[in-house]
Copies of this chain bind each other. A is one copy, B any other.
Amino acid sequence: MLPAAAGYDRGITVFSPDGRLYQVEYAIETVRRGTLALGIKSTDGVILAVEEKTRKLQISNVTQKIFQIDDHIGLAAAGYIPDARTQVDHARFFAQSNRLIYDEVVDVEGVAKNLADMAQQYTQYAGARPFGVALILAGVDKNGIGLYLTDPSGTYIGYDAVAIGAGSEQVTEHLEKNYRNDISLDKACVLAIESIFMVSEEKTGTKHIRLAVIDSKSKTLRMMPLEEIENYSKQVQDKESQS
């Protein structure tokens, strides 16, 4: 947790003497408190994966943290999820407008920049707090596979693989060690589930895992059914038992 400098951490749009925007840093802290979300590019598509903690009687075959923006674009969120929904609605509208105005599907980076610009506004103007959520945007467009991270500061950056939320530091290290540019979609799924097990309290099972895939051919987001996830999950456990 950040040390609280007296006063600077209360005004929404005020710089501290050392040039920091505390409200933005606190919003990023909200992201850190969220459960893990990650995205991984592969040779034949891109995946999004999240951990979702569900209570016993909660409907478990839906996801609160992965959203479809357009046919070819998905989004995974960590942090304050109601804020993510607001940004998702914005992104969907942006994507549909693009279809209507230019008669073509929107670029993944275009959506990422748009969401980041939206987030920046909430760091500069009074009357609203910054968004408390970071977003991983994944898709396949005419430029190939795109994977972007936006955060409460209004920054957006392209990645080959990226993780946010609780435990993301550890997962990022793991990804940096194990990610290779020629990774297949299958291997990416194994890597993603492995990453979730690494930081989750539940080291086995699949009920707390959601996974979405956009493969390069169909260019269409597909929520992975439980059986497939279980299949990859087994591969992770086999791998671990081998090592």
Task: Confirm or deny: A208 has a beta carbon within 8 angstroms of a beta carbon on chain B.
Answer: no
> How many chain A residues touch the partner (CB < 8 A)?
73
Q: In the bound complex, what is the Cα–Cα distance between A153 and B7 (angstroms)?
A: 23
Of chain B, the residue at the smallest CB distance from A151 is: B82
Q: Which residues of B sit under 8 angstroms from A172, Cβ to Cβ? A: 55, 57
Given A7-B10, A31-B19, A176-B56, also A129-B124 (CB < 8 A) = yes
Task: Confirm or deny: A100 has a beta carbon within 8 angstroms of a beta carbon on chain B.
Answer: no
Of chain B, the residue at the smallest CB distance from A146 is: B59
Say how many copies of this protein the assembly contains. 7
Q: Which residues of B sit under 8 angstroms from A9, Cβ to Cβ? A: 8, 17
Please state if A129 and B15 are interface contacts (CB–CB under 8 Å).
yes
Please state if A82 and B129 are interface contacts (CB–CB under 8 Å).
no
Given A23-B15, A27-B15, A57-B161, also A124-B119 (CB < 8 A) = no
Please state if A119 and B30 are interface contacts (CB–CB under 8 Å).
no
Please state if B160 and A57 are interface contacts (CB–CB under 8 Å).
yes
**0 or 1 for each of A75-100: is its CB under 8 Å from B? (1 = yes):** 00000111101100100000000000
Of chain B, the residue at the smallest CB distance from A60 is: B158
Q: What are 8 contact pairs spanning A and B, CB under 8 A?
A: A13-B128, A19-B26, A19-B28, A19-B132, A20-B30, A55-B172, A81-B155, A127-B127
Task: Confirm or deny: A170 has a beta carbon within 8 angstroms of a beta carbon on chain B.
Answer: no
Please state if B126 and A175 are interface contacts (CB–CB under 8 Å).
no
Q: Which residues of B sit under 8 angstroms from A176, Cβ to Cβ? A: 55-57
Q: Which residues of B sit under 8 angstroms from A26, Cβ to Cβ? A: 15-19
Of chain B, the residue at the smallest CB distance from A129 is: B13
Given A7-B10, A62-B158, A158-B62, also A82-B15 (CB < 8 A) = no
Of B12, B33, B154, B157, the contact of A58 (CB 8 Å cutoff): B157
Q: Which residues of B sit under 8 angstroms from A16, Cβ to Cβ? A: 26
Q: Which residues of B sit under 8 angstroms from A28, Cβ to Cβ? A: 19
Task: Confirm or deny: A139 has a beta carbon within 8 angstroms of a beta carbon on chain B.
Answer: no
Chain B nearest CB from A122 CB (Å) reads 8
Chain B nearest CB from A127 CB (Å) reads 5
Please state if A120 and B23 are interface contacts (CB–CB under 8 Å).
no
Please state if B58 and A159 are interface contacts (CB–CB under 8 Å).
yes
Please state if A132 and B21 are interface contacts (CB–CB under 8 Å).
yes
Task: Confirm or deny: A29 has a beta carbon within 8 angstroms of a beta carbon on chain B.
Answer: yes
Given A82-B153, A123-B82, A128-B125, also A57-B15 (CB < 8 A) = no
